């Protein structure tokens, strides 16, 4: 009886809160929610044609997970301090190489095909300077290899930490050089998965994670310099 109940629970459809949560989180991952956007429960409920309560609950869950922060007029993407970003990147460099190596052992034709398709879309978007499409392709690439991680709890933890740096992607993806670095990392990781060499996958993922951190610090320094210039101009 208990086994049947567990099976029935596993197969159940997501409730309204879970559905709204999934929709909003996917929009965050795909770069569809920008830094200037405000997420208001009433507006989202009207768009999705649901009541405000499940929307409110979904937004509060995303806030509790560190993806959003509340304001007087709805929710916005969370802004992280430099210290917080240091800790997030440290965690990613510890978890992602081992997870990717594990995923490569279980890599199947579909997962590899999904990685290839996402990589090709990212290359095309980069050539056309389509930043939004590049971000979506980058998200699909991450999903492709994370789906092959056998430890689903580990995959979910990594996914959340990757979501946390969405603000970073929104700030850095405008830079052509940074997009080139990210694309190079994606190519290297895909080639490593194809080779079946788990140690190479681990090394490539570690390099990819470190490159992501370096891109952020470069963008952060540029933002500081720009802010200083603006302040100097205002004083003048």
Residues of the chain with CATH 1.20.120.530: 82-233
How far out from the chain centre does Cα 170 lie? 11
Q: How far is residue 49 from each of residues 62, 115, 124, measured CA to CA in Å?
A: 20, 34, 35
Residue 55: per-residue pLDDT: 96
pLDDT at 1 over 50: no
Neighbours of 16 (CB within 10 A): 15
Residues 6+ apart with CB under 8 A from 175: 215, 219
Three-state DSSP class for 76? Answer: strand
Which pLDDT score is estimated for 218? 78
pLDDT value at 8 more than 50? no
Burial 82-94 (b: 16+ CB within 10 A, else e): eeebeebbeebbe
Least confident window among 37-41, 89-93, 185-189, 223-227: 223-227
Tokens read off for 221: 């320094």
> What is the reported pLDDT for 152?
94
List, for residues 110-148, the tens digit of each pLDDT value. Answer: 999 999 999 999 999 999 999 889 988 998 999 999 999
Predicted local distance difference test score (pLDDT) of residue 123: 97
* pLDDT at residue number 2: 42
CA 202/CA 87 separation, integer angstroms: 20
- Which among 169, 161, 120, 167 is positioned nearest to 144, based on CA atoms? 120
Q: How confident is the model at residue 178 (pLDDT cuts 50, 70, 90)?
A: confident
Which of the pair, 167 or 20, is modelled with greater confidence? 20
Q: How far is CA 168 from CA 122, 129, 139, 235, in A?
A: 18, 18, 14, 29
Q: What is the pTM of this model?
A: 0.77
Cα 100 to Cα 193: distance, rounded to the nearest angstrom: 9
What's the whole-number mean pLDDT along residues 205-228?
80
* Mean local confidence (pLDDT), 136-161: 93
* Dist. CA 181–CA 155, nearest whole Å: 24
Map tokens 């199947």 to a residue: 108
pLDDT at 9 over 70: no
With CA atoms as reference, report the closest residue to 150 among 213, 198, 91, 204: 198
Which pLDDT value is given to residue 3? 44
CATH topology of domain 82-233: 1.20.120
Most confident option among 8-22, 61-75, 116-130, 203-217: 116-130
Please say if the pLDDT value at position 61 is more than 70: yes
Average of per-residue pLDDT across 218-231: 71
More confident residue, 16 or 103: 103
Q: How far apart are CA 182 and CA 184, in angstroms?
A: 5
For the chain, what percent of residues have pLDDT higher than 70? Answer: 89
The answer to whether residues 114 and 157 touch, using CB atoms and an 8 Å cutoff, is no
pLDDT tier, 173 (very low <50, low <70, confident <90, very high otherwise) = confident
Q: What's the rounded Cα separation, in Å, for the pair 170 and 191?
A: 27
Cα separation, 139 vs 163, in Å, equals 10
Q: Give the residue from 36, 88, 95, 108 showing the smallest Cα distance to 217.
A: 88
CATH 1.10.10.10 region(s) of the chain?
16-77
Give the right CATH number for 16-77 from 1.10.10.10, 3.10.180.10, 3.40.640.10, 1.10.3720.10: 1.10.10.10
- Crossing angle between the packed helical segments 198-235 and 176-195, to the nearest 10 degrees: 170
Dist. CA 22–CA 159, nearest whole Å: 13
Q: What digits encode the pLDDT tens for the residues 71-95?
A: 988 999 888 888 888 898 899 999 9
């Amino acid at each position: 009886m208990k086994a049947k109940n567990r099976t029935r629970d596993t197969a159940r459809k997501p409730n309204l809160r879970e559905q709204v949560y999934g929709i909003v989180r996917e929009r965050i991952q795909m770069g569809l929610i920008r830094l200037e956007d405000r997420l208001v429960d009433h507006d989202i409920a009207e768009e999705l044609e649901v009541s405000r309560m499940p929307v409110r609950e979904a937004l509060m869950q995303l806030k509790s997970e560190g993806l959003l922060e509340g304001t007087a007029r709805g929710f916005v993407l969370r802004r992280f301090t430099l210290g917080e970003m240091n800790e997030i990147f440290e965690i990613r460099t510890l978890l992602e190489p081992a997870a990717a190596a594990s995923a490569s052992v279980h890599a199947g034709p579909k997962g590899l095909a999904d990685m290839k398709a996402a990589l090709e879309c990212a290359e095309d978007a980069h050539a056309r300077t389509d930043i939004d499409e590049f971000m979506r392709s980058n998200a699909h690439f991450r999903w492709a290899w994370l789906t092959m991680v056998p430890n689903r709890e580990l995959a979910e933890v990594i996914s959340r930490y990757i979501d946390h740096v969405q603000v970073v992607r929104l700030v850095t993806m405008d830079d052509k050089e940074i997009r080139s670095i990210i694309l190079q990392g994606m190519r290297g990781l895909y080639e490593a998965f194809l080779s079946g060499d788990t140690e190479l996958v681990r090394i490539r993922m570690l390099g990819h994670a470190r490159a992501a951190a370096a891109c952020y610090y470069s963008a952060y320094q540029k933002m500081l310099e720009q802010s200083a210039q603006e302040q100097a101009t205002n004083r003048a």
